[in-house]
Amino acid sequence: MTIKFWLNGKQIEDIIPDDILLLDYVRTKGCYSVKRGCETANCGLCTVLVEGKPVLSCSTLAARVNGKHVTTLEGLQKEAEEFGAFLADQGAEQCGFCNPGFIMNVLAMMKELNDPTEEEIREYLAGNLCRCSGFVGQERAIQAYLAKKKEEVSE
């Protein structure tokens, strides 16, 4: 079937298998940041934004994004660098394999939640598993990032 959609701001028209998953499809388009960590929708590694909302690309048919805007970390390099620097300053990126999906969801959280509490942050990001960091360093990075964002706003 044919789909026409926006991938990281660029319009794409393509012929795709009807049952290809968005995860597999965007990888064929060079979006290698999108990873598969499970088959049961539990890990969050494949998180992308569809119309700005974080979704699991492992559970989304590519056919379903016809006419929509899809964003992967490749399309948010500036934001990834900005937040990623805070992760890197904690050493919490570790193996890095879960990072793209995690960062996508952090960026989605920043849009959806205003001044979230520690508990709200944990709850929003609960679907992003990480086996290296024990999550604690990720949370230090988020707190530092939020503090900087607040500072920017007050300046």
Partner 1 sequence: MFHAKNYVLAQNLEEAWQLNQKKTNKILGGMAWMKMGKQNYQTVIDLSALHLDQIEENEDAFSIGCMVSLHDLETNQQLNEYFQGALKECVRHIVGVQFRNCATVGGSIYGRFGFSDVLTCFMALDAKVELYKGGIVSISDFASMPYDNDILVRIILPKKGKRISYQSMRNTATDFPVLAVALSFDEQEGWLISVGARPGKAVVLCWQEGTSSELSEVQIDNMTAYVLENISFGSNMRAKKEYRQHLCKVLIKRAVKEILK
Partner 2 sequence: MKFVNTPVRKKDAMALVTGKPVYTDDLAPADCLIVKVLRSPHAHAWIKEINTDIAKKIPGIECIFTWKDVPKKRFTMAGQTYPEPSPYDRLILDQRVRYVGDPVAIVAGENDACVDRALKMIKVTYEVLEPVLDFHTAKDNPILVHPEEDWHALCDVGADNKRNLCACGKDEQGDVDAILNECDYVIDQTYHTKANQQAMMETFRAFSYKDVYGRLNMVASTQITFHIRRILSHALDIPKSKIRVVKPRIGGGFGAKQTSLAEVYPAFVTWKTGKPAKMIFTREESQIASTPRHEMEVHVRLGADKSGRIRAIDVHTLSNTGAYGEHGPTTVGLSGHKSIPLYSRVDAFRFTYDVVYTNVMSAGAYRGYGATQGIFAVESAVNELAAKLGIDPVKIREMNMTKEGDLMPAYYGETANSCHLEGCLSQAKKLFGWDDKFPVKDMGNGKMRGVGMALAMQGSSISNVDTASVSIKVNDDGFYSLMIGASDMGTGCDTILAQMVADCMECDLDNIAVYGVDTDVSPYDSGSYASSTTYLTGMAVVKTCESLRKRIMKEGAKLLKCDPEQVDFDGKKVYCLSDPSVFVSLKDLANEAMCANDNALFATESHYSPVSPPPFMVGMAEVEVDMETGKVELIDYVAVVDCGTVVNPNLARVQTEGGLVQGIGMTLYEDVVYSKNGKDYSNSFMQYKLPTRMDIGKIRVEFDSSYEPTGPFGAKSIGEIVINTPAPAIADAIYHATGKRFRSLPITPERIIMEDGK
Interacting residues with partner 1 (CB under 8 A): 1, 18-19, 21, 39-42, 44, 47, 53-56, 58-61, 63-64, 66, 105, 108-109, 123-128
Which residues inside 13-72 make contact with partner 2, applying CB under 8 A? Answer: 32-35, 37-40, 42-43, 45, 72
Separation of alpha carbons 142 and 70, rounded Å: 24
How many CB atoms sit inside 10 A of residue 42's CB? 12
Nearer to partner 2, 88 or 147 (CB): 88
- The 3-state DSSP class for residue 142 equals helix
**What end-to-end distance do the CA atoms of the chain give, in Å?**
51
Instruction: Give the residue carrying structure tokens 């989304």.
Output: 60
Which of the ranges 48-56, 61-69, 83-91, 144-152 carries the binding residues for partner 2, by CB under 8 A? Answer: 83-91
Q: Which of 57, 65, 137, 145 binds partner 2 (CB under 8 A)?
A: 137
Question: Which of the choices partner 2, partner 1, none does residue 108 contact, using the CB cut-off of 5 to 8 A by kind?
Answer: partner 1
- Residue 79 CA, chain-centre distance (Å), reads 11
Cβ distance 70 to 59 under 8 Å? Answer: no
Question: Which of the choices partner 1, partner 2, none does residue 8 contact, using the CB cut-off of 5 to 8 A by kind?
Answer: none
